[in-house]
Chain A
Amino acid sequence: MDIVYQGEHVLPGQLGNFFIVLSFLASGLAAYSYFKASKGDLGWNKLGRIAFRTHSIAVLGIIGTLLYMLINHLFEYEYVWKHSSHIMPLRYVFSAFWEGQEGSLILWSFWHMVLANVLIWKGGKWEAPVVSVVALVQFFLGSMLLGVFIYNYQIGINPFILARESVENFGLPWTNNPDYLSFPQFMDGRGMNPLLQNYWMTIHPPTLFLGFASTLIPFAFAIAGLWKKDLQGWIKPALPWAFFGVMILGLGILMGGAWAYEALSFGGFWAWDPVENSSLVPWLVLLGGAHLMLINRNKTSSLFSALLLIILSFILVLYSTFLTRSGVLGETSVHSFVDSGILPQLLVFLLFFVVLAAGLFLQKKMRFKFWIAQAALFVLGVILAVWSDSTSAVKIPIILSVLIAGASLIYAYRTHFPKSDKEEHLWSREFWIFVGSLVLFLSSLQIIIWTSLPVTNLFLEPFSGLFTALHELSGIDFFRSLADHNFAPPIERVMEYNRWQIPFAVLTTLLVAVGQFFRYKQTEMKTFFKKISFSFIVAALLTLTIIFLTPFSKESVAVNFLLFTTIFAVIANTDYLVRITKGKMDTAGSSIAHIGFALLLLGALISTSQSDKISRNSSIYDVKSLSEDLNNEEDIVMFKGDTLQMGSYFAVFSDRFREGINMHFKIDYLENNPNSYEVGDVIFQKDMVFQCTEPHQASANFIDDMDKFWQFVPFPNERQSQVIEKWNSGKPGKLAFSLEPLVQLNERMGNTPEPDTRHYIHKDIYTHIKWGRTEEAPVDADGFLEPFSKELAKGDTLIGYKAKIIVDSILPIPDLNRYGLVDGDIGARIVLRLEETERDTSVNVIFGLRESDILEIPVTIESYGLQFMIESIDPTTGKIKISTSEHGENQRDFIVMQAISFPFINVLWIGCIIMVLGSLLAVRHRIRVNKIELKKVS
């Protein structure tokens, strides 16, 4: 009997599935049609357009349907339930859309579709081959949204499945209940992760995915060029697309950094996290490739490298997708996701295009032999995957496949690529841009190899036996580590990556500085050096000034070089912009982008190397406290109301309040004013007492003042002991600003701290909470906390929040009536002494026994916020069991927080904006140049 479920809206899901299938099939048809059209048949071109336009409408249909479901809260659908809820504000509906795996795939596919439509609109001889490649990619992406089953194997994940149909819920009893939609769990969706409910989640993913999508277009052009044997002709039409990709992908990556800096509590904007790295690497490779395209557009010198890098940039985007979505990263990344079962699909997607591209480098006969060999390996892999129990065996064909592809690339380079008889002149723009792209390539190689450690582990596994044998033969420990294939990222990850990347950055920025001064083909060396000398000298002087006047002198040689080269790059490109381009907007793009790039690196360099954890070495400014002043931890404990000297401020934890789902912690930053001492002032420093001999203003360190102004007092007298204070170099002034870092509370998602930052022009003060009280301790009607019992004997001590409680004595009660007892009761009087810094008090607590019932006689001491009650007395041991309860207000609220100052971090953000603007101008310039050339030809 078919169950009829109440309240389900089945139509949207069916419509959505229709669109998915339509989109999938139409993209396949478009790919095929355009493939035929590339052979010269224009009829197929028309069909290709119709097919792709149909595909485009279907993609829009998918998006519309999913949006409809989200807006109308159709929680019967798995995706809607997982990623949205009633209370979610409507402006986050887009964020919810792409929060999940399926949604972000749709977003990616959408951008491909948009870009391809631009290509179709432009038309021309490249339309057919290029769009056929894009359509093929869409076909693969479409397959990842199908969610169909072949035997037990799931192809793709469908965004439109009903919750009761999902694999996770399979077989659960409620899936057979026709009224399941009235169950409380379906009254509302699970909701978006509150950490993602901000404007960043609305702008960062679409920008980033547009960036990823834009690497496909130059790739498709390169493939088309290889396919149609026009190894150079593809470059000019593809140039604007390549730099468009540089601009958008760069912007997307930087947005991610800005988001991390603003909303996450790791205290920075880049952590060399695998997911960050895997999006940076395609960008670096694209950047290199785009520059190689520039120098090969008229005269070829490094065509192979240009093709290779451009093709690699898209392959790396596929690889990045593989890394982040397959779950292979495991524990190495905080971004790593639960394996959703699409690892094999992603792998096939990746390998298909690697093999396709590698094959195209070869010539006809070799090409087909290569593809057939690869197909055979694929079939072998599938057989091994299906028939074998372990995943070991299938890795071998994969490794072989990649090795053969690599080998064929080398073979192709040696046999088929035109080599000019004259090698490039050493002092030519071609040569040095080539070197620059090489450096970018090496830099990205380092990043991706280190990031791929889990993948290395995975592929070392089948050779475990071999390595164990080698280890036994040779005794070399390294073989054993290889056999274990359990490598983890280095302990000091950021430091280790920087160690490699800073030298690469030095080389890159040096070339950015001087690159444009080289002429094509050949440069007059004298003129060259004359042109750069001005910038070089100014930069050198500036750098030296900075090194001598700031803590930069303590940094490593590499860091100081980077300081120089980035400044040099900024000045040299400004010089070029002014003197040579004479500020013409048309050709200014590259110089401006270079300035932005250099400023970006400069800002990152200064703010990171000179960042100061000002919460370290903070000292308590509490005049009453005689405790140790120096604290060398990164974080600092701040009790409510305490004033702490922190960096160039005094900080006070002043308030804690809850707003919605956030617990706010208010921290006031007061100005640090110079402290002055008069003759006769008595202070203590490091447990020693000193008296001031001369009026003076305190220096930063006591040591500097000690001999000049202070006299050691070995035995302070009564008067001195009364006025003694802790030495301080400054005293708190008026309020400079307040910050409110918070902890976002969510039962389901978990507590997440969010920093708050004060932005000045020349620095940022960044504060975040490491630990703060997020729940109120439960109190009774009078405000007392839960009582706790303890067994004490005479003389024992209890430590309360405000006072020490000592059991002074246990006395009998001669006059029962005096303490509210009647004849026949047994009683005892327990005297407790309460010790506090200022005074002591005694309190009587009565124990009464009436006909073997223990009387409950609580005693409250309001001034101390304490409540006592005797629960029992053991006459043999003389121990009493006493229940103590403290008033909620006794608890001193405190937080553990970290504050960091980031000097000149605004240089980084300004650099980002300038770089994007410069790239935009460059794209505009390339489009114009193409238009002009097209006019000339026609």
Chain B
Amino acid sequence: MKKSHIIGIIIIAVCMGFILSSLFEASTYADFKEAFDHAGKEYHVVGSLDKDFDIVYNPETDHALTVFHMIDEKGESKKVKLFKAKPQDFEKSETIVLIGSAVGDEFHAEDILMKCPSKYEEGQSMEALVK
């Protein structure tokens, strides 16, 4: 077979590999219902802060635990335990993405992505991932 054909086939095979790997390695966005139906499995859950409940953060007792309630996109509110310090300006966040899994009646989040109002211009705003 010509070298160029071999290269072509390799490229196509590798390309398929990348596409499939991106889908296999991917996590999924889910709502609380799905996360709680598959307790223990990791998901990305999108939602916003439930203002009816307090945000509890006591760094003197545990500096890496923030407890709050989140309403997912379907309107369900669940208690969330985030194993990180309380993110700056958490109260002002518009959208939150939790990365974690459901445990019992709580959602345990290892990580969180936040979007705050007016921080995100249509242009060049740079903001840190809350890690």
* A interface residues (Cβ-Cβ under 8 A, vs B): 82-83, 98-101, 103-104, 190, 193, 195-196, 201, 205, 259-260, 263-267, 271, 273, 325, 331, 334-338, 340, 419, 423-424, 438, 441-442, 445-446, 449-450, 453, 456, 478, 481-482, 484, 486-491, 496, 500, 633-637, 743, 748-753, 770-771, 894, 896
Once A453-B26, A488-B26 are accepted as A-B contacts, the answer to whether A751 and B89 lie under 8 Å apart by CB is: yes
Q: In the complex, are the beta carbons of B26 and A99 less than 8 A apart? A: no
Q: In the complex, are the beta carbons of A264 and B127 less than 8 A apart? A: yes
Q: In the complex, are the beta carbons of A751 and B128 less than 8 A apart? A: no
Once A265-B128, A633-B63 are accepted as A-B contacts, the answer to whether A749 and B99 lie under 8 Å apart by CB is: no
Q: In the complex, are the beta carbons of A481 and B28 less than 8 A apart? A: yes
Once A100-B121, A331-B97, A896-B85 are accepted as A-B contacts, the answer to whether A486 and B29 lie under 8 Å apart by CB is: yes
Once A193-B125, A195-B125, A487-B28 are accepted as A-B contacts, the answer to whether A750 and B92 lie under 8 Å apart by CB is: yes
Nearest Cβ on chain B to A460's Cβ, whole angstroms: 9
Q: In the complex, are the beta carbons of B30 and A486 less than 8 A apart? A: yes
Nearest Cβ on chain B to A296's Cβ, whole angstroms: 14
Q: In the complex, are the beta carbons of B3 and A423 less than 8 A apart? A: yes
| Chain B residue with Cβ nearest A438 | B7
Q: In the complex, are the beta carbons of B11 and A442 less than 8 A apart? A: yes
Nearest Cβ on chain B to A181's Cβ, whole angstroms: 22
| Chain B residue with Cβ nearest A325 | B122
Nearest Cβ on chain B to A149's Cβ, whole angstroms: 19
Docked pose: A911 CA to B70 CA in angstroms: 45
Could you tell me how many residues of chain B have their Cβ less than 8 Å away from some Cβ of chain A?
55
Docked pose: A446 CA to B123 CA in angstroms: 26
Q: In the complex, are the beta carbons of B25 and A98 less than 8 A apart? A: no
| Chain B residue with Cβ nearest A434 | B7
Whether B74 is near chain A, meaning CB under 8 Å from some CB there, is: no
Whether B37 is near chain A, meaning CB under 8 Å from some CB there, is: no
Whether B115 is near chain A, meaning CB under 8 Å from some CB there, is: yes
Docked pose: A456 CA to B95 CA in angstroms: 22
**Lowest 10 A-B CB distances belong to which pairs?**
A101-B122, A750-B89, A770-B85, A488-B44, A487-B26, A264-B128, A488-B27, A100-B123, A751-B88, A637-B63
Which residues of chain B are within 8 angstroms of A103 by Cβ–Cβ distance?
123
Interface residues of B in 63-118 (CB under 8 A from A): 63-64, 84-86, 88-89, 92, 95, 97, 99, 110-111, 113, 115-116, 118
- Give me 18 other A-B pairs in contact (C-beta within 8 A), A335-B127, A496-B25, A752-B127 excluded: A98-B123, A99-B125, A201-B124, A205-B124, A335-B120, A336-B115, A337-B125, A438-B7, A441-B11, A445-B14, A487-B23, A488-B26, A490-B25, A491-B110, A500-B21, A750-B92, A752-B89, A753-B88
Within the complex, which residue of B4, B46, B120, B121 is in contact with A419, where a contact is CB–CB below 8 Å? Answer: B4
Docked pose: A743 CA to B87 CA in angstroms: 12
Once A635-B85, A752-B88 are accepted as A-B contacts, the answer to whether A771 and B59 lie under 8 Å apart by CB is: yes
Which residues of chain B are within 8 angstroms of A423 by Cβ–Cβ distance?
2-3
| Chain B residue with Cβ nearest A275 | B126
Q: In the complex, are the beta carbons of B23 and A481 less than 8 A apart? A: yes
Q: In the complex, are the beta carbons of B59 and A896 less than 8 A apart? A: yes
Docked pose: A751 CA to B23 CA in angstroms: 36
For the residues of A in contact with B, the DSSP-based class is mixed
Once A195-B125, A337-B120 are accepted as A-B contacts, the answer to whether A489 and B63 lie under 8 Å apart by CB is: no
Which residues of chain A are within 8 angstroms of B44 by Cβ–Cβ distance?
331, 488-489
Docked pose: A848 CA to B63 CA in angstroms: 43
Nearest Cβ on chain A to B102's Cβ, whole angstroms: 15
Whether B52 is near chain A, meaning CB under 8 Å from some CB there, is: no
Which residues of chain A are within 8 angstroms of B95 by Cβ–Cβ distance?
331
Docked pose: A325 CA to B123 CA in angstroms: 8
Nearest Cβ on chain A to B114's Cβ, whole angstroms: 8
Which residues of chain A are within 8 angstroms of B111 by Cβ–Cβ distance?
491
Q: In the complex, are the beta carbons of B26 and A336 less than 8 A apart? A: no
Which residues of chain A are within 8 angstroms of B14 by Cβ–Cβ distance?
442, 445
Within the complex, which residue of B3, B85, B88, B115 is in contact with A331, where a contact is CB–CB below 8 Å? Answer: B115
| Chain B residue with Cβ nearest A755 | B128
Docked pose: A196 CA to B120 CA in angstroms: 11
Which residues of chain B are within 8 angstroms of A478 by Cβ–Cβ distance?
23-24
Q: In the complex, are the beta carbons of A101 and B123 less than 8 A apart? A: yes
Nearest Cβ on chain B to A431's Cβ, whole angstroms: 9
Whether B18 is near chain A, meaning CB under 8 Å from some CB there, is: yes
Which residue of A83, A193, A419 has the most chain B CB atoms within 10 A of its CB atom?
A: A193
Which residues of chain B are within 8 angstroms of A340 by Cβ–Cβ distance?
122
Which residues of chain A are within 8 angstroms of B21 by Cβ–Cβ distance?
450, 500
Q: In the complex, are the beta carbons of A453 and B22 less than 8 A apart? A: yes
* 21 residue pairs from A and B, CB less than 8 Å apart: A195-B125, A195-B127, A205-B124, A266-B129, A325-B122, A331-B29, A331-B113, A337-B120, A337-B122, A337-B125, A419-B4, A449-B18, A449-B19, A449-B22, A488-B44, A491-B99, A635-B85, A637-B59, A750-B119, A752-B128, A896-B63
Q: In the complex, are the beta carbons of B127 and A484 less than 8 A apart? A: no
Q: In the complex, are the beta carbons of B122 and A488 less than 8 A apart? A: no
Once A331-B113, A449-B18 are accepted as A-B contacts, the answer to whether A266 and B131 lie under 8 Å apart by CB is: yes
Nearest Cβ on chain A to B116's Cβ, whole angstroms: 5
Which residues of chain A are within 8 angstroms of B127 by Cβ–Cβ distance?
195, 264, 334-335, 752
Q: In the complex, are the beta carbons of A98 and B26 less than 8 A apart? A: no
Which residues of chain B are within 8 angstroms of A750 by Cβ–Cβ distance?
88-89, 92, 116, 119
Which residues of chain B are within 8 angstroms of A490 by Cβ–Cβ distance?
25-27
Docked pose: A273 CA to B125 CA in angstroms: 14
Which residues of chain A are within 8 angstroms of B46 by Cβ–Cβ distance?
331
Which residue of A104, A487, A750, A771 has the most chain B CB atoms within 10 A of its CB atom?
A: A750
Docked pose: A445 CA to B15 CA in angstroms: 7
Q: In the complex, are the beta carbons of B59 and A334 less than 8 A apart? A: no
| Chain B residue with Cβ nearest A157 | B122
Nearest Cβ on chain A to B125's Cβ, whole angstroms: 6
Which residues of chain A are within 8 angstroms of B11 by Cβ–Cβ distance?
438, 441-442
Nearest Cβ on chain A to B44's Cβ, whole angstroms: 4
Which residues of chain B are within 8 angstroms of A267 by Cβ–Cβ distance?
131
Which residues of chain A are within 8 angstroms of B4 by Cβ–Cβ distance?
419
Which residue of B14, B64, B129 has the most chain A CB atoms within 10 A of its CB atom?
A: B129
| Chain A residue with Cβ nearest B7 | A438
Q: In the complex, are the beta carbons of B60 and A637 less than 8 A apart? A: yes
Which residues of chain A are within 8 angstroms of B2 by Cβ–Cβ distance?
423
Q: In the complex, are the beta carbons of A334 and B122 less than 8 A apart? A: no
Nearest Cβ on chain A to B126's Cβ, whole angstroms: 7
| Chain B residue with Cβ nearest A340 | B122
Q: In the complex, are the beta carbons of A635 and B64 less than 8 A apart? A: yes
Interface residues of B in 39-55 (CB under 8 A from A): 42-44, 46
Which residue of A83, A424, A633 has the most chain B CB atoms within 10 A of its CB atom?
A: A633
Which residues of chain B are within 8 angstroms of A748 by Cβ–Cβ distance?
118
Nearest Cβ on chain B to A663's Cβ, whole angstroms: 11
Nearest Cβ on chain A to B19's Cβ, whole angstroms: 6
Which residues of chain A are within 8 angstroms of B59 by Cβ–Cβ distance?
637, 771, 894, 896
| Chain B residue with Cβ nearest A95 | B124
Which residues of chain B are within 8 angstroms of A751 by Cβ–Cβ distance?
88-89
| Chain A residue with Cβ nearest B131 | A266
Which residues of chain B are within 8 angstroms of A487 by Cβ–Cβ distance?
22-23, 26-29
Once A438-B7, A894-B60 are accepted as A-B contacts, the answer to whether A334 and B128 lie under 8 Å apart by CB is: yes
Nearest Cβ on chain A to B50's Cβ, whole angstroms: 18
Docked pose: A285 CA to B88 CA in angstroms: 38
| Chain A residue with Cβ nearest B129 | A266
Docked pose: A636 CA to B19 CA in angstroms: 40
Within the complex, which residue of A196, A450, A633 is in contact with B18, where a contact is CB–CB below 8 Å? Answer: A450
